[in-house]
Amino acid sequence: MARNTGPVCKKCRREGTKLFLKGNRCDSSKCAFNGSSQGTTHRIAPPGMHGAKRGKSTDYGIHLREKQKVKIHYGVLEKQFRKYFSMAERMKGNTGTTLLSLLERRLDNVVYRLGFGLSRSQARQWISHGHILVNGSRVNIPSFLVRPGDSVSVKNKPISLKVVKEALDETSSRMVPDFLVLSNEDVPKGYVLRLPVREDVSLAVEPALIVELCSK
């Protein structure tokens, strides 16, 4: 499976916003964006030697940056993103909102948002290694789309319980979105209550700009 590698904090700096790619580090003082918001003089500049000297973005560049933010945030590549956009276009309702809903329904995102993983990349690792069950059956495909009524749980094996409970201890302060509920059981389990809506998305993004770009 193809995936992006390399420094991830650089991606946040390039997009000019926090994309929550490194788990709890993003909420700590080690995050450059947190340091800037606490009154330091550190300026968050795009990566590269001439990042701070870049001029004003074009209209196309603004649209492109919105799409790139979403792709990086959810960890999908261009081909995957185009597939989700095509699905959203064929479905009823606002295309941009439907696109974000589809991405929120990805199993790796659900595992992350339940707190089973510190980051979406770690959630993908747990899924690929067979630690996660959907409705009691092992699913090792991170892009699997959950539906209302589905249960997402951890395999009742020592190694699976160990890695997920360690993550849950570190993510105890993380808010679980309203479309999910985390059950307090010996074996960690979450339930999908409904389809996610725009308010459930934690990323500040303008989906209308993405639709305008991808519809051309």
| Mean pLDDT computed over 57-84 | 90
**What does pLDDT average to over the chain?**
83
Is the separation of the CB atoms in 45 and 13 below 8 Å? yes
Per-residue pLDDT reduced to its tens digit, 125-155: 999 999 999 999 999 999 999 999 999 999 9
Per-residue pLDDT reduced to its tens digit, 162-200: 999 999 999 888 889 999 999 978 899 999 999 999 999
- 3-state DSSP helix/strand/coil % of the chain, to nearest 5: 45, 10, 45
CA distance 67 to 90: 19
Q: How far is CA 159 from the centre of its chain?
A: 25
| pTM of this structure | 0.79
180 by DSSP, 3-state: which? Answer: strand
User: Domains in the chain, ordered, with CATH?
Assistant: 1-47 (1.10.1050.10), 59-103+201-216 (1.10.1050.10), 106-194 (3.10.290.10)
